[in-house]
Amino acid sequence: MLAAALLGGCATTQVDVSGTRAGQPLCPDAERPTALVLWSTHWRPDQKDVLEREAAAWQGIEQFFVRSSCRTEIRNSAAVPADASAYGRIVLLTVRELGPVLRIGSPSLIAGGTEVVIETKVIDGRSGKPLAELRTHWQNGGAFVIKGVGSLGQDMTEALAATFQAMASR
């Protein structure tokens, strides 16, 4: 009975997106310009399961951009390449956190879920002008929720959706 209560807790999603917004979608043109997505990670020193987290990050990033309004090329790199001017937009993603969390104590006995922390910079590829710089802290969980690593790819996709929706708003 207790196990069912723990696994069947009430999960909610909280998103905090802060920073400079572009006020327009990633690819505002109807011609679907090309965007170059450069992603990297910056884990805390004691991060566990790095390879599994990076695989989930890649899965989520790829899933989000396949569905986006842009034609995209995705590379695992933190450095802007020499051919950047060939792209309409350059997206620099740094994944800082991707994983399950579990807290024991107040206000409930057990609270958990998953969280994603990403930093996103969008640059106009032709001019080099910065368009947006955002930090997203996405969390899904709550009291009596226990989640594993199985949803991390989808969690990354949802965090990116929230990021780019916020970027387009003023």
Residues 52-77 have pLDDT tens digits of 999 999 999 999 999 887 889 999 99
Structure confidence at residue 6 as a pLDDT band (50, 70, 90):
very low
Instruction: List the structure tokens of 113.
Output: 């879920």
12-20 vs 89-104, strand pairing mode: unpaired
Q: Mean pLDDT across the chain, nearest whole number?
A: 87
Q: 110, 144 in Cβ contact below 8 A?
A: yes
pLDDT at 126 over 50: yes
- The three-class DSSP label of residue 15 is strand
- To the question of pTM greater than 0.75 for the whole model, the response is yes
% of the chain surpassing 70 pLDDT:
90
- As a whole number of angstroms, the longest Cα–Cα distance in the chain is 60
Q: List domains and CATH numbers for the chain.
A: 33-97+117-138+151-168 (3.30.160.180)
For residues 124 and 34, give the distance between their C-alpha atoms in angstroms, rounded to a whole number.
Answer: 11
For residues 53 and 6, give the distance between their C-alpha atoms in angstroms, rounded to a whole number.
Answer: 24
Residues 115-124 have pLDDT tens digits of 999 999 999 9
pLDDT of residue 169: 86
